[in-house]
Amino acid sequence: MTSAVPGVSPSKAQLSYEWIREQITSGRFTPGYRLVLAQIAGELGVSVVPVREAVRLLEAEGLVTFVKNVGAQVALVDEAEYINTMQTLALVEGYATALAAPLLSAETIAAAREVNDQMRACLEDFDPHRFTELNRAFHGLLFERCPNPHVQDLVGRGWSRLAALRDSIFGFVPGRPPASVAEHEEILTAIEAGADVLEIELAARRHRLATLQAFLAARSSVD
């Protein structure tokens, strides 16, 4: 991230961005929470300017919204937004994973498998937040070598939009995490075997859509 405001130290804007984002994704700042810029600036020991820049970037990611007569607040959970984002990610992340697959080293694949093993261990005493962190790390290892920066950017934005929702989604669909771990192993096996890039893309896409389908099924059962 680079600051677009003249005279603002990128490090201060980056600090503000990362701190606010962590409060949102960790659940400390819940949906609808009002972001008082002066208060945040005081807590971080910076001026309001880099905090304002950080909030602007978080708004672009869909994590923050501006409400008339209220100001900046954490974006409310929007079910339609979740569905749209998951459908989009199924396409762009699947493609990013396929493009990156031939470029992944044996060490990277081993690291991804180790993360997946940690996710499997996490199932015994399930912690949605920890599982989400590991899930993000797993997928990051697979798509970070994608040679197309535009596709990378789209994937990153999609993950940012999901950040405030994922813990609640995994908790809402308790049967999904074990299946997700198994699908991760299938994707890794396909990459190791040198499978056709289209096969890898479709496997990654099915994996993403399976989570969405599980969410929709759970929602229907509640309705």
Instruction: Give the chain's domain count.
Output: 2
Last residue of a domain, one of 57, 74, 91: 74
Spatial CA neighbour of 135 closest among 161, 153, 159: 159
Last residue of a domain, one of 41, 57, 74: 74
Does 135 share its domain with 194?
Answer: yes
Q: How far is CA 104 from the centre of its chain?
A: 21
**For position 104, which CATH number holds?**
1.20.120.530
Q: What is the pLDDT of residues 76-117, one digit of tens each?
A: 767 788 899 999 999 999 999 999 999 999 999 999 999 999
pTM metric for this prediction: 0.69
The predicted structure's pLDDT at residue 47: 94
Domain range for 22: 10-74
Does 87 share its domain with 59?
Answer: no
Percent of the chain with pLDDT over 70: 87
For residues 50-77, average pLDDT = 87
Does 134 share its domain with 174?
Answer: yes
Cα-based distances in Å from 103 to 19, 84, 97, 108, 201: 33, 29, 10, 10, 14
Does 28 share its domain with 101?
Answer: no
The answer to the question of residue 189 being in a domain is: yes
d(C-alpha 188, C-alpha 20), whole Å: 34
The predicted structure's pLDDT at residue 21: 86
Q: What is the pLDDT of residues 137-161, one digit of tens each?
A: 999 999 999 999 999 999 998 988 8
pLDDT beyond 50 at 3: no
The answer to the question of residue 3 being in a domain is: no
Q: For residues 89 and 204, is the Cβ–Cβ distance under 8 A? A: no
**For position 21, which CATH number holds?**
1.10.10.10
| Confidence bin at 1 (pLDDT 50/70/90) | very low
